[in-house]
């Protein structure tokens, strides 16, 4: 791969490794094991190898194909399947996932049957919906019933623990109340089965603030973290800073393909854009605008990126273009110049998954 291919996502493996080690050490000091989530980077082998070389023993993804890559790179790494499994994929799942999230008694029964057939021992983490309303048992008694089923009636399933997800759908913030309920449910299950659960999994990146602020309830022993290792974008939305982490382990670069002075307000009858949205526009008069050759198909919502040049503003874009206002920049940008952008999780997810975005390791 040549160095002049754009758009590209730049992956600084030294900074990524530092972030991985910092996160592991910070959580370990609070008695918490981390499973590093590689889904947000599309399971890129270079990223997986950086995790492993940095000492991460537990990796996770919602995609079985990515778990397979992990096992091909290092079969000793513990793999966690993050998405509730489809019955149709169970045979493939248990070959590459050491553990999976589950929230249905029916699926657990099918999973036991498959594991018996293949003579595979498989761990399960039962999910408890505490209000975010995505996956998980909502009724506590159903959760306990499932735990007892796995513990007492499944010869090929092992109850790893229970967990919850907060923030991904319902935008519910993890706190001492909802995570306290998870711990209370875990204690009840432990009393019923007569042993401790290895993992009480208190969520994902949105739970990091509790660790940093020393308010994580005692009893949470596991977190599933991807975004918080890759980026610092959650600090824009939550009340914490993690200054030991790099915010530019990943960044995006795009090439300028047009520069013109144009009105800032569209001319004609405004309808909808290419995605069925009806944006609002501010009339700022004539402005110097630059087009960059990357768009939503490559990077998702381009307005979530942060230009390294603080005097450049992202106006919007389309599937193939990002539109910038460069009027106030001190740089005399020309066609062919390359601009760099810090990114948020959506941009990371899209760019790592797109075949049209080059992956450049430094």
- In DSSP notation, 281-330 reads -----EEEEEEES--HHHHS-GGG-EESSTT-EEEEE-SS-EEEE-TT-S
Query: Catalytic pick from 15, 39, 49, 71?
Result: 39
Instruction: Give me the pLDDT at residue 310, please.
Output: 98
What is the C-alpha separation between 351 and 354, in angstroms, rounded? 5
Tokens representing 320? Answer: 């193939």
Sorted by sequence, the CB contacts under 8 Å of residue 214 that are 6+ apart come out as: none
**CB of 3 closer than 8 Å to CB of 360:** yes
The Cα–Cα gap between 331 and 309 comes to 9
**pLDDT, position 3:** 57
Q: Is 39 a catalytic residue?
A: yes
Helix (H/G/I), strand (E/B), else coil: 222: strand
CB 64 within 8 A of CB 96: yes
Count of CB atoms within 10 A of residue 6's CB?
19
**Which helix or strand (DSSP H or E) is residue 46 part of?**
helix 45-53
Q: How high is the mean pLDDT in each 10-residue block of the chain (362 residues)? A: 79 98 98 98 98 98 98 98 98 98 98 98 98 95 98 98 94 96 98 98 97 97 98 93 97 98 87 81 92 98 98 96 98 98 98 98 97
DSSP class per residue in 126-187: EEB--SS-SSSB-SHHHHHHHHHHHHHH-SSEEEEEEE---SSSS-PPP-HHHHHHHHHHHH
Residues 6+ apart with CB under 8 A from 149: 105, 108, 109
């Amino acid at each position: 791969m040549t160095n002049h291919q754009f758009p590209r996502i730049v992956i600084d493996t030294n900074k990524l490794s530092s972030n991985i080690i910092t996160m592991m050490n910070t959580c370990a000091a609070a008695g918490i094991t981390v499973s590093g989530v590689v889904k947000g980077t599309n399971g890129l082998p270079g990223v997986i190898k950086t995790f492993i070389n940095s000492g991460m023993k537990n990796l996770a993804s919602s995609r079985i194909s990515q778990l397979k890559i992990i096992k091909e790179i290092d079969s000793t790494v513990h793999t966690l399947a993050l998405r509730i499994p489809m019955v149709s994929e169970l045979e493939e799942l248990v070959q590459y996932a050491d553990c999976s999230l589950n929230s249905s008694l029916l699926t657990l029964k099918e999973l036991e049957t498959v594991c018996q057939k293949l003579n595979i021992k498989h761990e399960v983490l039962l999910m408890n919906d505490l209000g975010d309303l995505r996956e998980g048992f909502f009724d506590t008694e159903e959760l306990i019933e499932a735990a007892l089923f796995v513990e007492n009636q499944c010869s090929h399933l092992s109850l790893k623990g229970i967990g919850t997800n907060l923030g991904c759908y319902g935008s519910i913030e993890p706190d001492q109340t909802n995570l306290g309920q998870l711990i209370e449910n875990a204690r009840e299950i432990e009393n019923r089965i007569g042993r401790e659960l290895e993992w009480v999994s208190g969520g994902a990146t949105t739970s990091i603030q509790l660790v940093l602020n020393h308010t994580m309830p005692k009893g949470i022993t596991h977190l599933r973290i991807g975004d918080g290792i890759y980026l610092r974008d959650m600090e824009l939305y939550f009340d914490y800073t993690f200054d030991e982490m790099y915010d530019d382990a990943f960044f995006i670069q795009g090439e300028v393909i047009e520069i013109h002075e144009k009105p800032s307000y569209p001319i004609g009858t405004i309808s909808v854009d290419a995605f069925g949205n009806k944006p609002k526009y501010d009339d700022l008069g004539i402005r110097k605008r630059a087009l960059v050759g990357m768009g939503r198909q490559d990077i998702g919502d381009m307005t979530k990126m942060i230009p390294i040049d603080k005097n450049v503003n992202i106006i919007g874009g389309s599937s193939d273009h990002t539109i910038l206002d460069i009027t106030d920049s001190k740089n005399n940008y020309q066609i062919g110049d390359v601009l760099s952008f810090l990114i948020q999780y959506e941009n990371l997810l899209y760019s790592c998954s797109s075949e049209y975005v080059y992956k450049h390791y430094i």
